[in-house]
Structure 1
Amino acid sequence: MKFVTFEKPNGSNRAGWILNEAYAVDMHEATDGRLPCNLIEFLDNSEENIKIAAALSLTIDHKGVYLLSDLHLKAPLPNPRSFRDFYAFEQHVKTARENRGLKMIPEWYEIPVFYFSNHMAIKGSGEEIIKPKECDWLDFELEVACIIGKTGRNISAAEADDYIFGYCVLNDWSARDLQRKEMKVGLGPAKGKDFSTSIGPWIITKDELERFRTGKGFDLAMKARVNSVQLSKGNLKELYFSFGEMIERASAGVTLYPGEVIGSGTVGTGCILELGEKVHPWLKPGDKVELEIENLGILENTIIEESR
């Protein structure tokens, strides 16, 4: 199933799922209130709620079913409970460090590392991204997000799949000049990531991807385009650390809750920092960035100038 959050013609925001690729179901309306209005509450009891959703026999004439063309899709999880972004693709890490004259550090191979980013600055596909005023080196990052669907603590990598609700495309926008300066102090990234993160266009449940599983990831092609020109090409099967290993690390001594987001980190070739400015200059207002991942959809955003 593909879960979405959308704005209805009357201006209300609701959550539900895609039906027949052309319709969206308002899950609260279609079930006479048995399912909640938003995805966070749905995830709080995701196993039981998915059973309710899957058992519904809906037609396009059913109450609560709307044409997608009449709706405005939002970020599928507009206010996640947290956002941890990992650093799990070796090619990206190696190349980005080589471009700065740095060697790989052995500790990277020992543990999957992550940072926390601003979970209250989430954007959806089609939404505009405001370039920070003080940023001249704006970058995209081609990633996958994993959505936690069950509470757990000290989760092993082997059992982590039981705690995953689904996956979606993720763009971890980066103000590279801000990031570079603050990380010289020994902390961060923080302000360099603070302004926006995009996810969408929907969250696909984990069962839909099982047939693509291979190695530590999934055989899913990943591409990035800027102004319709393809810059990046990778595959989710290239993960050095699996999402299970990321969840094991994140949950060590810590309770994870439904609605938390785990990012994969950038796939190889998946950002301008790695590709170099000779391939493409830093992003500027008016640029349109499209991230496409096979079976997960296309996440599209346009950069705009800060208005004040």
Structure 2
Amino acid sequence: MRFATWESAGVVQAGVVSDAGLHALPEGRTIIDLVRSGLPAALAAGHAALANDPVSLESVRLLPPLEPPTVRDFVAFEEHVEGVVASVGDGGGVVPEWYEAPTFYFTNPYALVGAHDDVAVPPGSQVLDFELEVAAVVGLDGTSLSPDQARDHVFGYTILNDWSARDLQRREMKVTLGPAKGKDFASTLGPWLVTADELAPFHDADGFLELEMSVSVNGTLIGRDLLSNMGWPFEDLLSYASRGTWIRAGDVLGSGTCGNGGCLAELWGRRGEQDPPPLRPGDIVEMTVEGIGTIRNRIVPGVELPPVRPARPRSRRRERA
């Protein structure tokens, strides 16, 4: 089943997606309410909503499917790391530590945008990039889960575009912290949340989801990959996120960017030049993931802000003057 959230005439609603359109849940009920109720109850609520008259997709603005309490973004594709390290980092190759355990950072849950929303260039950036990912949504609270246990904690999946300001990111990560402002200005989530049972037929023998992924800019194909090229399946990502702490229903965990052109920076690192060029206002980025759907965002100019003040020169005086 596919769950969506949308806005029409200033009213936000949540519901089920069918071939006929969007079927609203009872007023006031959100997708995160469904997620927290558990998959069986959510499916029952969805089937009940299908009896309601549909609203056409073309008549609404799709919002992110849910408002997650947290968003963790992993870096689970080796091929992506190979290219991006040469472009955004210093040097090349994949560090040995990448293979030891999944790595993630927390990104901004307040910066999520819908499947067809415009995305503004962040202040101070000249090197804007996309990142093609799939995100899993946690369906049950849990702590220190084994991968086998974590498998039952996945509610469903959606597409994630982890937009990146590469010039800001590069500066930040030289301080061995971040990314911060290089990432937290926008992340597209959508177009809807597909429940885990619907994608079960795509699991390969090793538990990976063998979904085709592609991204184009202005109609030109830039990258394509299989989600099953991840270094770890999603249950391992959930298990690692829960080690010594809690994951909660509604949390979003990104796969990290796929390889083979899943972002521009990977291609820049391999080619030694910014080819294709960074995104500019007017560009349209479209991402499709098999079994989930398509998101499409247009880049627009951002706000102009004064430059950030540098740190003031400091003495090492230890007493007041």
Q: Same fold (TM over 0.5)?
A: yes
Corresponding residue for residue 210 of structure 1: 200
Question: Are 1:46 and 2:35 matched, yes or no?
Answer: no
Corresponding residue for residue 312 of structure 2: none
1:228 to 198, 212, 219: 219
Give me the identity figure in percent. Answer: 40
Cα drift, residue 105 of structure 1: 1.3
Cα drift, residue 198 of structure 1: 0.5
2:21 to 12, 20, 23: 23
Question: Are 1:299 and 2:295 matched, yes or no?
Answer: yes
Output the amino acid matched with 1:5.
T
Cα drift, residue 46 of structure 1: 2.4
Output the amino acid matched with 2:23.
V
Question: Are 1:249 and 2:240 matched, yes or no?
Answer: yes
CA distance in 1, matches of 2:209, 2:296: 22
> Contact conserved, 1:182 with 1:188, CA < 8 A, in 2?
yes
Cα drift, residue 51 of structure 1: 4.2
Q: In the TM superposition, what are the counterparts of 1:61-72 in structure 2 within 5 Å?
A: 62=52, 65-72=54-61
Corresponding residue for residue 171 of structure 2: 181
CA distance in 2, matches of 1:23, 1:138: 34
- Compute the TM-score of the two structures, normalised by the length of structure 2: 0.88
CA distance in 2, matches of 1:142, 1:201: 14
Question: Are 1:95 and 2:86 matched, yes or no?
Answer: no
2:112 to 115, 122, 132: 122
2:48 to 56, 70, 73: 56
Cα drift, residue 55 of structure 1: 4.7
Cα drift, residue 307 of structure 1: 4.1
Corresponding residue for residue 33 of structure 1: none
Output the amino acid matched with 1:249.
Y
- Compute the TM-score of the two structures, normalised by the length of structure 1: 0.91
1:143 to 129, 133, 139: 133
Corresponding residue for residue 12 of structure 1: 11
Corresponding residue for residue 3 of structure 1: 3
Task: Please identify, of 44-53 and 148-157, the stretch whose mean Cα deviation from structure 2 is larger.
Answer: 44-53
Cα drift, residue 224 of structure 1: 0.6
3-state SS of 2:136 partner:
strand
Kindly tell me the number of residue pairs found equivalent between the two proteins.
Answer: 296
Corresponding residue for residue 68 of structure 2: 80
Cα drift, residue 73 of structure 1: 1.3
> Contact conserved, 1:216 with 1:240, CA < 8 A, in 2?
no
3-state SS of 2:26 partner:
helix
Q: Which runs of 5+ in 2 are unaligned?
A: 305-321
CA distance in 2, matches of 1:39, 1:107: 37
Cα drift, residue 242 of structure 1: 1.1
Question: Are 1:191 and 2:181 matched, yes or no?
Answer: yes
Corresponding residue for residue 200 of structure 1: 190
CA distance in 2, matches of 1:42, 1:53: 8
Cα drift, residue 204 of structure 1: 0.5
Q: 1:121 to 1:45 in 2, by over 3 A?
A: same
CA distance in 1, matches of 2:140, 2:276: 41
Q: 1:106 to 1:54 in 2, by over 3 A?
A: same
Per-residue CA deviations over 1:196-235 (Å, capped at 9, x if unaligned) read 1101101100011111101342111111100110000101
Q: 1:216 to 1:106 in 2, by over 3 A?
A: farther
> Contact conserved, 2:7 with 2:61, CA < 8 A, in 1?
yes
CA distance in 2, matches of 1:120, 1:257: 17
CA distance in 1, matches of 2:14, 2:245: 29
Output the amino acid matched with 1:303.
I
